[in-house]
Amino acid sequence: MVHELDTFFKPKSIAVVGASRDSRKIGNAALKNILISDYECKIYPINPKEKTILGLKCYKKVTDVPGNIDLVLISVPAAIVAQILKDCVKKNVKNVIIISSGFGEIGRHDLEDELKQIIKNKKMKILGPNVMGYKNASIGLDASFVYGTPRKGNVALISQSGALGIGMIYLANNEFMGVSKIIGVGNKINIDDDDLINYFAQDDDTKVVGLYIEAVKNGRDFMNSIKACDKPVLIVKAGKSKAGARATASHTGSMAGSDKIYSAAIKQAGGIRCRDIVELFDMARALGGQPPLKGNRIGIVTNGGGLGVLLTDACEENGLEIPKLSPKTYKKIDKILPDLINPNNPVDLSADAGFYRYETATSALLEDPNIDGVIVASVHGGYARPEEFTGAILKMIRERKLHEEYKKPILATWVGGKEFEDLVWDLKSAGVPIYPSAWRTARSMLGLYLEGQRIKKEKQKKKGQQFYFKEKK
Ligand code: ACO
């Protein structure tokens, strides 16, 4: 079934109102981004003074453009946006992005009301105002005015803050995290978070949905969209503190609301609340590439006792258990350890552990029915061999043998410097969830656990419904 936002994200024709020859202007950048996109569509600059812009024929008004326009980007001062929108209605434009600022976020709610009035009872979808637009990395289209090309992947990002959205693009690239779409929602007069969650729920290119929000306009719709989404939904909700709530009011003109209510509502709907953007990315990386945790029992493999203890503490603090090894697993691991060490969980392989010890111990834990997921850790101690640690993880995750067979997630932790970091890049670029801290690893494991619980609940609900219908028959 075609979703109502399909032409919004995959337009065949785009017009930029306020397109300019001046390379310092936002209308110039927006047009250029569409032009250089690796995506085929018709492009129409709109500017009453120009004949051509960036080599394209320019039109005075959207109504002068021959043929349909699927998407219009507006980059003119707020005072004339309403007139442009009226033209878009006349032209029967399906989708509009209003980049322009100067609306609710500065108290000009009257201007927003005017826009809402213009599209009342129309089928038109509007993103914004006060937005950067979107980047659709799945198909290579950049419908924003900001620079930066996200790496293609399976995480859809929605940001109420444009600048943070831009930062997220660069952070994702830096972290080798792939994105399907990234979109700024700004003042949300029409397209809201729930519309986007509903869209990404059915988007084949998206496996995880991540949101930065300051306020939700319609709580019930928001909750329902998370409930209906059969994919993990990760949420950073800002404005927790009193001063933070004040800051959101002046940023996007929204009320932060009671933080406790937000937390409870997100949890109840099956979403996962993240503490910040880095945590959202950490969890997204784990959820985007690893199976969810079926239970909360974690096995830890490390070459450093201290890191093992830190991981144990962090896991327990997040509600995850580190069970004792079963006699069978104990025996398997005992065979490969130096004589002076007894197997335990965390499994301490000792500082000089290489490929063989790492691979054998991790496999033993994955095979253990009392273990639901494994954390593999390495400290770059004096005589450690980080390339053998990363090699073992790459082998296990790339070949997917054990991983697929036992459907258990593997996360990795490392502690070290530059020489280790180069190896970590290889892992990250191969999609391996690896983190430079015990806490971040445990929180990502928690994300996998919460997703596992959500899936379990959904299954139980469906079973209950089937039973109910059978009984009724
Ligand atoms: N139709 C089409 N084009 C028109 C019209 C019209 N009716 N009227 C004027 N124009 C042209 C102008 O002549 C100009 O083109 P020119 O350079 O050839 O003269 C162009 O449209 C733009 O108009 P300007 O008046 O020059 O406006 P400017 O580009 O300086 O600013 C803008 C417009 C960018 C929308 C500004 O008002 C604004 O809101 N800036 C903030 C945008 C923003 O940050 N949004 C939030 C993003 S999220 C984040 O934080 C990154």
Local confidence band at 403 (pLDDT 50, 70, 90 cut-offs): low
- Residue 46 CB less than 6 A away from ligand 1: yes
Of the ranges 8-22, 202-216, 373-387, which one carries the lowest mean pLDDT score? 373-387
CA of 12 to the centre of ligand 1 (A): 24
- Residue 82 CB less than 6 A away from ligand 1: no
Residue 273 CA to residue 271 CA, distance in Å, equals 7
**Most confident listed range (7-21, 372-386, 452-466):** 7-21
pLDDT of residue 140: 97
Local confidence band at 175 (pLDDT 50, 70, 90 cut-offs): confident
CA of 223 to the centre of ligand 1 (A): 36
Local confidence band at 17 (pLDDT 50, 70, 90 cut-offs): very high
Residue nearest ligand 1's atom 38 by CA: 100
Local confidence band at 471 (pLDDT 50, 70, 90 cut-offs): low
- Residue 100 CB less than 6 A away from ligand 1: yes
Mean pLDDT, the chain, integer: 92
- Residue 418 CB less than 6 A away from ligand 1: no
CA of 16 to the centre of ligand 1 (A): 10
> Residue range 261-266: average pLDDT?
90
Ligand 1 atom closest to 17 (CA): 2
Q: Measured in whole angstroms, how far is the alpha carbon of residue 360 from the centre of its chain?
A: 33
pLDDT of residue 472: 59
pLDDT at 421 over 80: yes
- Residue 20 CB less than 6 A away from ligand 1: yes
Statement: the pTM of the whole predicted model exceeds 0.85: yes
* Torsion sign over Cα 302, 305, 309, 310: negative
> Residue range 428-432: average pLDDT?
84
pLDDT in tens, 208-256: 999 999 888 889 999 999 999 999 999 999 877 777 767 766 666 655 5
Residues 6+ apart with CB under 8 A from 187: 103, 104, 105, 112, 128, 129, 130, 131, 252, 253, 254
- Residue 132 CB less than 6 A away from ligand 1: yes
pLDDT of residue 250: 63
Local confidence band at 344 (pLDDT 50, 70, 90 cut-offs): very high
> Residue range 357-371: average pLDDT?
93
CA of 131 to the centre of ligand 1 (A): 13
Select from 16, 22, 26 the residue to mutate for testing ligand 1; criterion: most ligand atoms less than 8 Å from CB. Answer: 26
pLDDT in tens, 41-86: 999 999 999 999 999 999 999 999 999 999 999 999 999 999 999 9
Amino acid code (one letter) for 441: T
